[in-house]
Amino acid sequence: MAFSEFRPLEENSLIEYIKATPSLSSKIGDNYDGLKIKEVGDGNLNFVYIVVAPSGSFVIKQALPYIRCIGESWPMTRERAYFEATALKAHGGLCPQHVPEVYHFDRTMSLIGMRYLEPPHIILRKGLIAGIEYPLLAEHMSDYMAKTLYYTSLLFRSTTEHKREVAEFCGNVELCRLTEQVVFSDPYKISEYNLWTSPYLDRDAEAVRGDNVLKIEVAELKSKFCERAQALIHGDLHTGSVMATCDSTQVIDPEFAFYGPMGFDIGAFIGNLILAFFAQDGHADQGNDRKIYKEWLLKTIEDTWNLFHQKFTALWDENKNGFGEAYLPAIYNNPELQKLVQEKYMKELFHDTLGFGAAKMIRRIVGVAHVEDFESIKEAGIRADCERQALELAKTLLKKRREFVSISEVTAAMKQV
């Protein structure tokens, strides 16, 4: 059976497809008795099938030529599946512990076959809403970010490799444009797509659109996003792109991947932890005031940055005599200078992280795609209070990010809101 051109699969044609594809059929031992297929795509963009058989399992993800949550009216290239598969393989090669293995990719069909992240893996965001502590989350995510970002940057690579990869991922421009619109543009103007908890946040949304300083700062971040090819970033590293258990953390869905600023990834993750923090009051009830959980979130935010800093600079130190072309050993390899250079680099990265993180928070409150952390708070007035706190902190972070010296100053500001 040949699939020489694209067609969306449903359950029956999927089975035919699997039978015709050795890299998939071998995963279930070519045994179709007791095969179960479940469509679970709860994301915004794609169809996702879980395929489980007695002898094995995998997930099939197929991109359709539009954005699923909005429908065929918002077209979106299927080529995003190619960039997702390419990024999964690249990041998986650098950090296999935290990236699901890709078993199969079919560019014509925009289809990825990959490891099924079996229960009790759940989407991290849902775990954070449920108040589940993940003791290894900061350790794992800092590991993932340090490795994927360091090894794809000019700290480790030659400019020859770098420009070849940058050119390749320039092809993912449609997904970049979607980010530009929903993160850096729409929240700062009148847009049919914008949503907020109305009428409670009407004035807050209006204030965002009228805040000149905020708009100047967001323009600087947008220009970094569009122009600065610093590393192969995931491009959408919020808490919905992570599946976790108490001892496993897996990063999925890098279809927005391209060579962009590292701070966009780190900021996305930390920014979404901050959103989770501010949503906790909306999830508190008589049985659980969430105070201890909020402390855990604060600690996880601090640990994430601090461990990332530690691991990233450790990779840099380990490889300082390698082939990376940003800081040639013949020029920079004296301990004092190495230290100064790292401090400057990490300081800029920290401020980028806060800026991008804040921009990602703002768009989740007054832009098109909201987060379940807040959306699951039924009472609109309470939800709006939570959102307003997050929004205020985000505005401060975005505008005054260069005044923050350490992540503990950020968590202190969170507690003061």
Q: Which residues bind its own copies (CB under 8 A)?
A: 154, 159-160, 162-164, 166-168, 170-171, 173-174, 176-177, 180, 185, 188-190, 212, 215-216, 219-220, 222-223, 226-230, 325-328, 330-332, 336-337, 340-341, 344
- Rounded to whole angstroms, the Cα distance separating 137 from 126 reads 14
CB of 167 to its own copies, least distance (A): 4
CB of 73 to its own copies, least distance (A): 20
- Which residue lies nearer to its own copies by CB, 96 or 329? 329
Q: In what order do the strands lie in the sheet with 122-123?
A: 122-123, 242-244, 249-251
- Rounded to whole angstroms, the Cα distance separating 262 from 150 reads 9
- Which residue lies nearer to its own copies by CB, 160 or 288? 160
- Which residue lies nearer to its own copies by CB, 194 or 304? 194
Tokens (6 digits) for 226: 């569009």
CB of 312 to its own copies, least distance (A): 16
Of 300, 11, 272, 250, which is closest to residue 119 (Cα–Cα)?
Answer: 250
- Which residue lies nearer to its own copies by CB, 44 or 191? 191
| C-beta separation of 213 from 53 below 8 A | no
CB of 330 to its own copies, least distance (A): 4
Dihedral (C-alpha) 206, 210, 216, 222: value to the nearest 10 degrees? 30
- Which residue lies nearer to its own copies by CB, 2 or 190? 190
Tokens (6 digits) for 210: 């009228």
Count the Cβ atoms, other than its own, within 10 Å of residue 322.
Answer: 13
- Which residue lies nearer to its own copies by CB, 21 or 179? 179
- Which residue lies nearer to its own copies by CB, 20 or 337? 337
Partners of 111 in beta bridges: 62, 106
Tokens (6 digits) for 276: 């989770």
Tokens (6 digits) for 73: 């009216």
Count the Cβ atoms, other than its own, within 10 Å of residue 79.
Answer: 18
- Rounded to whole angstroms, the Cα distance separating 102 from 254 reads 12
CB of 189 to its own copies, least distance (A): 4
| C-beta separation of 58 from 49 below 8 A | no
CB of 81 to its own copies, least distance (A): 18
CB of 180 to its own copies, least distance (A): 6
Q: What DSSP state is assigned to residue 100?
A: P
Please state, in angstroms and as integers, the Cα–Cα distance from residue 87 to each residue in 71, 123, 254, 329, following that order: 25, 20, 6, 29
CB of 36 to its own copies, least distance (A): 41
Q: What DSSP state is assigned to residue 184?
A: I
- Which residue lies nearer to its own copies by CB, 139 or 161? 161
- Which residue lies nearer to its own copies by CB, 19 or 402? 402
Helices (H), 152-211: 159-169, 173-179, 202-209
> What are the backbone dihedrals phi and psi of residue 178, each rounded to the nearest 5 degrees, phi first?
-65, -45
Helices (H), 61-108: 80-94
CB of 284 to its own copies, least distance (A): 37
Q: Over the range 199-238, which residues count as b (16 or more CB within 10 Å of their CB) and which as e?
A: ebbeebbeebeebeebeebbeebbebbeeebbbbbbbbbb
CB of 79 to its own copies, least distance (A): 13
Partners of 259 in beta bridges: 232
CB of 335 to its own copies, least distance (A): 11
- Which residue lies nearer to its own copies by CB, 7 or 189? 189
- Which residue lies nearer to its own copies by CB, 174 or 289? 174
